[in-house]
Amino acid sequence: MKNRIKFSALLGILGLAVIFSFKPLEAKKTIVIDAGHGGKDLGADMYGFQEKLITETIAKKIKALNKDSNLEIVLLRDSDREMELSERVSIINNLKPDLVVSLHVSKSMNMSVNGVDVYVPSNETFHEKSKESAVIVIDKMTEAGNLAKRRVSEAPFYILKNASCPVMTVQIGFLSNEKDRDYITSEKGQTEIALNILEAVK
């Protein structure tokens, strides 16, 4: 009888040990990367460099560099094709991702203007979560000093207004600024930008 009690107690202890050592599976996180423009829509275009190709390259790098099995990177555009904004938003809202990062490149008549801007929606539903993620993204992208930090601010862009999830538009630098242009069009720069965005959204 005593042996049975001891055996039962031992099984109970082992059972508790198994329960407390068990780590619940992390929920898979889905991030949509929207490469701005595409097809006939070149976006910013200077000195032979086109926004549509820069954003597409960086988007593909983000997906390729992701090795986290709990993070799914979905590209809205992985080829040089034109997509209506309404089509992008429709895909986003059907996917119901945790976050959308829309990639763009800036251009200015003032060639001294440089750096990263991040825009978020003004609506109450997704503003705070979008801004929280945007601050992490801009900090990560600019911490090494290759790109200057400008600001996180609200904007009435179509995707920001119509996506039913946290969302941001990242203007990764200015094609009109020589320093930014050299960095965001280089293999090294594009890889670093992709890595920084990936690390920021994990």
94: CB partners within 8 A, 6+ apart: none
pLDDT for position 25: 62
> What order of strands is seen across the sheet that includes strand 29-35?
71-75, 29-35, 99-106, 167-174, 116-120, 149-154
Identify which of 174, 186, 165 has the alpha carbon closest to the alpha carbon of residue 114: 174
Tokens of 125: 């539903």
pLDDT for position 27: 79
Tokens of 124: 């109450």
CA distances, 8 to each of 1, 14, 15, 145 (Å) = 11, 10, 10, 62
Give the Cα-Cα-Cα angle 192, 45, 103 (nearest 5 degrees): 40
- Confidence (pTM): 0.87
Q: How far apart are the first and last CA of the chain?
A: 55
pLDDT for position 16: 52
Q: How many residues does this entry show for the chain? A: 202
Identify which of 41, 64, 62 has the alpha carbon closest to the alpha carbon of residue 52: 41
**Domain spans, the chain:** 29-201
pLDDT for position 9: 52
Q: Which residue has the tokens 């275009």?
A: 45
- At the fourth CATH level, the homologous superfamily of domain 29-201 is Zn-dependent exopeptidases (3.40.630.40)
Residues in the chain predicted with pLDDT less than 70, given as ranges, are 1-26
Identify which of 100, 105, 72 has the alpha carbon closest to the alpha carbon of residue 193: 105
CA distance 64 to 84: 25
